A and B are shown apart, each in its own frame.
Chain A
């Protein structure tokens, strides 16, 4: 039995090593002279003018290739839908067990700042690093922190599952709505400045047309979704401890 295990490990190691050699040869055959060519060069030189966003990664994510982003946030939507299907929650347990009074007070002081940080990341996504995904994840992490500090009772009193479902769907529908607006205007699905979204002054908070809306939509979707995933998995722990 042990010999069989060792043999299978050896076989998989040999397989992995040979695949690694193949990959390495493929890399070594390329010249290591990275240049920005093709579409990327166009983005670098024209994105601020064409989309109004100073953060070019945001411009690509939410304008040039916004369809990818729609798909990506749909992956999260699907996963969340599925995990909620796998863990149906008939009743939510009120576990008020959390950490000590001092920690609660301390976190109570910190909480607004974390929320502000998330909001700043989301709203300035078109100007500086960050955006809907990062901000949404910070929001989700905030709910995780709340769960650790206050116990899972926090969820049932402040953020019941139906509210999160609603937020998530609202984010998704906002995204699709911005896309459909472009389609109705006749400039193509998910078009930004050409569909008539105001470009604003470059470099200011209210600029870049539809990109801030899409950031908010994605943040809602990601934040509510990841938070749902965490609470779905954590409530089972409560279940077991309670029983």
Chain B
């Protein structure tokens, strides 16, 4: 486990958090948050916390993202859901 990898990981972590915060499009920032969750669980795994990493990956990137998307899909106008976005 080289130090470069760890530094890279943390830089990406902070970058993903900034992206989740600053991007104006909600869907993109939800995806950024999901990426952030995965990176965080990698960081936990590096810090020798396998239990925490597993939970973080499964809960934050699985269920919470699903619930986020379920909630977000309802802020669209009624007709938009399920249609192709290119109209």
Contact = CB atoms under 8 A, between A and B. Distances in A.
Q: Would A and B touch once assembled, by the CB under 8 A criterion?
A: yes
Interface of B: 50-51, 53-55, 58-59, 62-63, 66-67, 70-71, 73-74, 78, 81-82
Contact of B67 (A137, A233, A243): A233
B54 A144 contact: no
B63 A237 contact: no
Contacts of B53: 129
Given A233-B70, A237-B73, A240-B74, A133 B55 contact: yes
Interface in A127-171: 129-131, 133-134, 137-138, 140-141, 144
Contacts of A130: 51, 54
SS of B interface (majority): helix
Interface residues of A, number: 24
Contacts, number: 54
Contacts of A140: 63
Contact of B71 (A57, A121, A226, A233): A233
A12 B70 CA distance: 30
A90 to B, nearest CB: 19
Nearest to B64: A226
A141 B63 contact: yes
A241 interface: yes
A236 B67 CA distance: 12
Given A229-B67, A230-B66, A230-B67, A241 B55 contact: no
